[in-house]
Amino acid sequence: MTTGTASRSTHEGLPRRERLSFPVSKLASGFALAIDVHTITGAAPGPTVGISAVIHGDEIEGLLIVRELWRTIDAEQLRGKLVLLPVANPLALGTISRNTPLDMLDLNRVFPGLEDGWLSEQLAWTISNEFISKLDYYVDIHAGGTFPWVDYCYVLNDESLSRAFLPALLYKPRQMFAGSTAAFAVARGIPTTVVEIGGGYHDQAEHIGGGVRGLMNQLRHIGALPGSAEERRKQLLLREIKVVRPRQGGLCIPVRPLRPGTWLDERAALAEIVSPYSFECLEMLTAPFEKNVVVLSRNYVTRIQPGDYAFMIGNGASATYYE
């Protein structure tokens, strides 16, 4: 492992694989905090493509996808460079936490960060300058977290790149979250996709396989790998998504398992929120729109806090299909 800045591809001594470490700070424990980046430089010139995961520490599916991509991709076929950041927030991964445990900030809301700010801001500053700023294309992988299951892609500044991941569902927001990696990359004119895949009590092999397939297809789409990119017909583009959150905490007991992409009628029942102490139903969660598309779901009984993500539901009335 070396310490330093990843550079764009050259022809000498290629292809090659490297692991680079970029220091962030020294913790009070004496341990050094750094971000580790894996690079795969192909045998021919081409774009520099960055893929990141685990910016939220309870979303490990992206790490598993990046690991499998690293293990299986043929560097001899690669044009340009792959820059892989498998764990963007090591401290959050260590505690299985959405937020950085030392300052409890959401790392994906503080980009581009500050060199002398909160620890999360210092981490964001390092990722911004040593990773994202050096890319020609960027894919950030997220998941549903510990309990929910999710499966869709954002459409940001490169619709065809998002579609090339081959999701059944896509979402075009009015604006991206301020302070996110995606907002920073888009502001710099970098074609960017945010992937939401997997999570919860669910067989992750399906998501790992689908994630690697999607990334490989994106690489073919932009010319980083040979061959024609696959196309998926009848992808659904959502323009409005509502997060369904309980007002009461307790046990979230789903009415039935729901795969992302399932259509539901108006006011369809989603889950009961039940007191684990009195056994009474405190609240019934229902679909919010006249026509509803499941985006994120809880398919098993889980503990839930007031305001937690329980379900994400798309507005089917304003959605359109790609032909």
> pLDDT at residue 29 above 90?
yes
Average pLDDT over residues 233-247: 97
Which of these, 155, 154, 138, 152, lies nearest to 192 by C-alpha position? 138
Average pLDDT over residues 170-192: 96
From residue 282, alpha-carbon distances to 179, 278, 285, 307 in Å are 36, 10, 10, 14
Average pLDDT over residues 76-83: 97
Take residue 177 and report the two structure tokens written for it.
């979250």
In tens, the pLDDT along 41-60 reads 999 999 999 999 999 999 99
- Please count the CA atoms within 13 angstroms of the CA of 283 that sit on its side-chain side: 17
| CA pseudo-torsion sign 158, 160, 165, 169 | positive
In tens, the pLDDT along 276-292 reads 999 999 999 999 999 99
Average the pLDDT over each of 5-14, 97-106, 111-120, 208-217 and give the range with the smallest value: 5-14
Q: What domains can you pick out in the chain, each with its CATH number?
A: 2-221 (3.40.630.10), 240-321 (2.40.50.100)
- Tell me what pLDDT residue 202 has: 77
pLDDT bin (cut points 50, 70, 90) of residue 9 is very low
- Write out the DSSP string of 100-165: -TTT---GGGSTT--TTS-HHHHHHHHHHHHTGGG-SEEEEEE---SS-EEEEEE--S-HHHHHTT
- Tell me what pLDDT residue 77 has: 96
Contact (Cβ atoms closer than 8 angstroms) between residue 318 and residue 174: no
The pTM score is 0.94
The residue ranking higher by pLDDT, 127 or 13, is 127
- Tell me what pLDDT residue 12 has: 58
Residue that has been written with the tokens 């020609």 in this structure: 136
3-state helix, strand, coil in the chain (%, to 5): 20, 30, 45
In tens, the pLDDT along 128-156 reads 999 999 999 999 999 999 999 999 999 99
Contact (Cβ atoms closer than 8 angstroms) between residue 164 and residue 216: no
In the predicted model, what is the mean pLDDT of the chain? 95
